[in-house]
Structures are given as C-alpha cells and as structure tokens.
Amino acid sequence: MKISALTIVRGRQKHLENQWRGWLRSDIKPHRWIIVGMNQEVVVPGHDPSVEILTDQVIARGESLPLASARNVAANLCETDAMVFLDVDCIPSPSMLTHFAQAIHNENRLWMGSPRYLPRGATDGDWTFEGLDQSGIRHPIQPSLTRGELRSSDEYEKFWSLCFGVSKETYQRIGGFDESFAGYGAEDTDFAFATRQADVPFGFVGAVAYHQHHAVCKPPLNHFDAIVRNAVQFRRRWNAWPMQGWLDAFANLGMIRYVPDSDELQVLTHPTKQQVEQATVMTPAGF
C-alpha cells in the first residue's frame, strides 16, 4: 500500500529537520512527504532520492496558524488513498508508517497514533532511536498499546491531530477540517465529532511518533483569542464546551466568565505580555 506523509509547519525548522531524519530512517518511505507552510514559505530540510517532497503554503490574513486550512490543502495535494498527518514537532519511529498502513488497510477508521513525549535535550546532536525509545514517555490519558496493536474506541474526544492516519476517501466523507475554526484550538475535536457524526469508526494504533520537547504556555494564554472564539463556535455546533481545562484556567485567572452548563462565555480582560511570558514553561507539550 502506498502511503503519504503530511506535515504543516509554522517556524520550528529544527523540528522539521529532525522529522526529515526520521523519514530517511523509516522502514518504508512515504510515497511523498507533503509539507504545507502556514503564512510562510517552506524551507525544505534536505534532499534524498528515496523521499519525494512536495511543498505549498496557506496565506491567511490576521491568523498566523490556519491549521484547518493547511491540513485540507495537504490532503488535497495527496495522490495516495492512505495518508498520515504528523505534526512538525514529531519524529516518526522507523515502524510508524508500516503500522499506519496496516491499520488503514485493515479497517476504514480514523486511526490515532501513539505519541511518546521526549524530555529536554533528547533530540540534541546526533540522536538515535534507541535513545528516543529510552527517554520517551506515554501520555497518561492515552491508551497504552504495544507496537502495531489496533484498538477500537468510541472516545472520539481523545483524538488529537498531532499523529493520525486515515484514507483520503474517509477524510472526504468526514468533510475534512472545518476552516471556520481559525487559529489554535478545537479544530481537531470538531474533526473528531464530525467523524462520529459521519458514522466513521475511530481507533488507536501502536504507531509510535516521538514528540520533541519545546516550551509551552500553560495555560495557552498566547492563543487566548483563538481558543475563546473557537470554543464558542464549537459550543454552538455541538452543544458542548471543548478545551474545558483551558477555559477553567482562563476563568480562574479572571479573564473570562464562563458557565459550563450553559452557552455563557464572556471575555472580561485579555492576557498581558507579562502574563504570557510567566505562563511559558519548559515541559513536554500535551501534559
């Protein structure tokens, strides 16, 4: 089965270079590595005859992270039916594409992979997969799978877009990512709920990718406006609040008034530059 790798990028050139090193060591090479820049041109990290690279970009005024649009552009450029989306800050394990290809061939589901989170410094210098295996840790709320294991699930809310595989036919059946979600937050949960609405089954596969360490804002005050805007839109569509941990944190900081069991969400104040800086920490993203 031919399978393509799709990556969207904004900055993070070093992460992109490490992902390139991962593709070169993959047990099976992607038919094509499609890289879509978000409000930037893509700087191709290298050249090798074993991996064809195709690049494009999405330009969105007023929004530096058009995540939904970029993923849809990447999918439209894909020529193979089997597709794997991998965030730029992830490195594919040598067996990752093989396990995704087997899962997609086995059953027409939305398949989420198995991220391992790396500590600071794990990808410095001439890293090895043996070293990544030893230092990578599982996310505590995601299932613990052996490599290649398949597990069906009805917990669509546990879908994260950082590492997933799906057939192009199924992606189109779902409707792709809703581009009215502008910027960071909720676009992947909306995609998961649309998957359930389209009667597309969901599952997890032991296809390992390594999430590279980087600074994160906890809570993500740097994406405050987009999170609030997308949360309100999600609530109107699905009658549920997404990202409740983040909304609770914003409320505790006195930035929003938010009632979980109603449609009420009011912005009281916006985070200052100092508050954003104080909330930025060096921990594994996603924890």
All CATH 3.90.550.10 domain ranges of the chain, comma separated, are 3-211
Reduced to 3 states (helix: H, G, I; strand: E, B; else coil), residue 199 is coil
- How distant, in Å, are the alpha carbons of 154, 158, 275 from that of 110? 11, 12, 38
pLDDT of residue 285: 52
Instruction: Identify any residues that bridge with 75 across adjacent strands, giving them in sequence order.
Output: none
CA-wise closest residue to 180 among 220, 247, 221, 237: 237
Instruction: Identify any residues that bridge with 58 across adjacent strands, giving them in sequence order.
Output: 38
Instruction: Identify any residues that bridge with 151 across adjacent strands, giving them in sequence order.
Output: 204
- From CA 201, how far away is CA 17, in angstroms rounded? 34
pLDDT of residue 31: 97
Q: How many residues does the chain have?
A: 287
pLDDT of residue 275: 86
pLDDT 10s digits, 32-66? 999 999 999 999 999 999 999 999 999 887 777 89
Taking 70 as the pLDDT cut, the residues of the chain under it are 281-287
**What residue ranges in 87-139 does DSSP mark as E strands?**
90-92, 110-117, 137-138
- How distant, in Å, are the alpha carbons of 74, 75, 135, 178 from that of 54? 9, 12, 32, 23
Reduced to 3 states (helix: H, G, I; strand: E, B; else coil), residue 257 is strand
Enter the pTM of the model.
0.94
pLDDT of residue 64: 74
**What residue ranges in the chain does DSSP mark as E strands?**
3-9, 33-38, 53-58, 82-86, 90-92, 110-117, 137-138, 150-153, 163-167, 202-211, 216-217, 256-258, 265-267, 280-281
pLDDT of residue 60: 83
Dihedral over Cα of 155, 180, 287, 95: its sign: positive
Sequence-distant (≥ 6) Cβ neighbours of residue 217 within 8 angstroms: 223, 276, 279, 280, 281
pLDDT of residue 262: 85
For 3-211, CATH gives: 3.90.550.10
